[in-house]
Structure 1
Amino acid sequence: MIAAARFLRALGDALDARSRDGADAQLRTVDTACHERLRDLLLEDGRPVFRFSRDGLCYGALVLSDLAVWPWSARLAMRGVERLEFTALPGIGTLAAFLDYAAGLLPAGGIAPRLTPDGLRWGLDLGDSTSDRHPLAEELDVVREVFRSVERGLTIRAGDAMLVSAALEGHVQGTRLVVPLLAGTEREDYQPAHAVNTTLLAVALAHSLELPATERAEAALAGLLHDIGMTRMPAQTLSAARFTPEDREVLRSHPLEGARLLLRQGDRFETAAVVAYEHHLRKDGSGYPRLSYPRAPHRLSEVVAVCDAFDALLATRPDRPALDPATALRQLERSAVTQYDAEVVSALGAVVLGGSAPGGLPLTVR
C-alpha cells in the first residue's frame, strides 16, 4: 500500500510538471523518480491496477483514502484513463509518452484503449478477454487510422503515432526479441503494415548498432512515419497494376511530402522529418530526391533506408514478385557496396539471422 501511494504521488508530480510546462531537465527528473517508484511497486505487486474516477481512486479493490483529494484522478478519467495497469516495468520512454498523453500534451486521437506499450495498459475497459488476433493487431489498427486521417487531409494524429512507436519499441525490447513481419491482406493495408515492420526492424538495428536510448526512440518514430508522404500520392497511381515512368516520377515526391507533414508537428518530429526526406538517398547518388549539394544523410536515415528496402523486398510489387528473407538479404548485401551503408546492412543480417540481438529475429512467412 505504501509503495502504491508513493508511486501515485510521483505520478502526480510528473503530471504537475507537465501542466506547468516544465523544462526538459525537470521533466527528466520527475519522470525518473516516477519510474523508480513504479519499480519499487512492482517488487511488491507484480501486476498493480489503478482505477480513476471523479469520486476518487482505487488500488486493486482498495480505496486509497489518504489520496482521496488527489486531483489527477478526475483529470485522468476525463482523458479516458479510467484504468491503469502494469504487467511489467515499462521503459522510461514509454512511461514519458503516457505521461504526455495523460497530461493533455498530445491529442487524444482515438488511441485504442487496449494498446499495450511495453508493460503498460490503460483505457476505459481493459478486460482480460482472450483473442486470437495477431499480437500487434491493435498497434496496426491505430497506425491504419493514423494513415487514413492524413489521407483525408487532416493533420497527423501525433499522440497516436508517439504512443504506437513507444509500444513497438517496447515490443522489440522484450526478453525474447521477436519481430513478426506483418503482411497487409489488402492493398490499402500495405503502408500501415510496412510502417510497423520498418519500425520493428529499425529499433532492432538501433539496438544492434548500440545506439543510445534517445536514438532508439527516434528510430521507432522515424520508422513508423518514414512513408507518411505516400498518403498524399494519387490513389490511381498507388492502385496501378504496373507503374509507368510517369507514375514513378509522382511517387518520388513522397519523401518531400512526408517531410512537410512532419515538420508541421513541431520539434519532436524533426528527426522523423529528416528521415522521411532522406530514406531514399543512396551513396552513389542514384536515389531521390536529388540534392543540390550532396551530403551524408542522418545516421537514422541510413538505418531506416535499409529496413524500408528489406521489408519492401518481402512484398509483392507491381513490377516483381516477393522475395524470401534470405534472398532479400543477399540483394541488400550486394547493394551495400554502392547504395547502402555497409555497417547497417551487416547489422541487419546479424539481427535477422539471430547473431547480434538478444534472442534473434525470427521472421514469419508472409
Structure 2
Amino acid sequence: MIRISIDAMGGDHGPDVVVPALATVATRRPDIRFIVYGREEIVGPILARFPKLAGVSELIHCEVAVRMDDKPSQALRNGRWKSSMWKAIEAVKNGTADACISAGNTGALMAMSKFCLRTMATIDRPAIAAIWPTLRGESVVLDVGATIGADAHQLVDFAILGTGMARSVFGVERPTVGLLNVGVEEIKGQEEVKDAGRMLREANLASMDYRGFVEGNDIGKGTVDVVVTEGFSGNIALKTAEGTARQFAQYLREAMSRTLMARLGYILARSAFNRLREKLDVGRSNGGVFLGLNGIVVKSHGGADANGFAAAVELGYDMVRNRLLDRIEADLDLFHARNPKAASLQRSGAETEEE
C-alpha cells in the first residue's frame, strides 16, 4: 500500500476540489490509502458523498488552516503542531505516510517542509521541480522558485535531484540533462553556471547524460529530459509559459467564434481542437515537487480543479512507487564519493549560513 497524506484545507477551493480529486485517484489506484487532514465539520460531509473513498481514507481533525496570504514565518509560528498543512507533512516524517500533497500557500509549505523534514545530508537547499509539457513529451525543470541565485554546487545538486525525478516519473534509465544558459557556447553565461557545467562533465555520472548548456527555447522543444536553473529564472520561465498558454488559448477561442465560417470550421475540426486544448491545459502538468528533503512533498497549484489536484496526487504516488528518494540518495552518494572536495565546501557553506 502507498499512503498519501493530504492537506485538505489548502488551495483556493479547499475540500470542495480536494475530496473529489481523491475519489478519482482511488478509483484508478486501488493500492492507495489516504490520511486526510482538515476541519472535520467541513471535510466530513463531502467525504461521506464518496463511500469508496471513505473506505480507504482516515480523516483527522485539524482546527487550524494555513491561509493563502499568510507569510511563511507567520504560518510556521502559528500553524506548527496543529494546522492541516503541518500535520500532513509531519505524517511523512513519522513514517505514517509516504508522501504529502497540498495546494496551500507555497512559501508556508516550503518553510514547514524544510523545518520538519530537513534537507538530505549533502543538500544545501531544496529545489522545486515542475513537469513541463514539450514537443517530445515532458521534461523536468528545476528550480522554479525555491532557491534564488544558486551557486555551482547547488546547480549540480539540482541536476542530480532532477535526474532522480526523471528516472522515477518518466522511467528513463539515463535522462539527458542540460544547464539553462544564455547560449550553448561554453564561454557564455555566469561563472556559477560554467563551473557547474565543468563539474558535471568531470563527474561523468552513469545515471545522467549531461548534454551541456541549453537555451530558453530548448525547454519547449524537449531538447533534454532535465533542465537545470536557479529559482529566479526558473520561476519566470514557468509563469511566462503558463501565461503564454492561456493567452494563446484565449486568442484561439476568440478567432473560432468571430464568424459563422470560423464556427463551422471549429465544428468540423473539433477533435483536433480538443487535443490542442489538452496540450495547453496547464492543470494536466500540475504538481511542483520539493526535492532535496528527507521526504516527498508535492505542491499542487492553488487554483487547480479536481483533475489538476488528482494529477498532483498521482505524481506523488508514482515517485513513491518508483523509489525516488532511494535513487536520489544513491546518485548523491556516488557524486560526493568521487568529489569529496565538493561535499567539504558545501558543509562549510552550510555552517557559515547557519551562523
User: Quick one: higher RCO (CA 8 Å, sep 6+), 1 or 2?
Assistant: 2
* TM-score of the aligned structures, taking structure 2 as reference length: 0.26
Greater strand content: 2
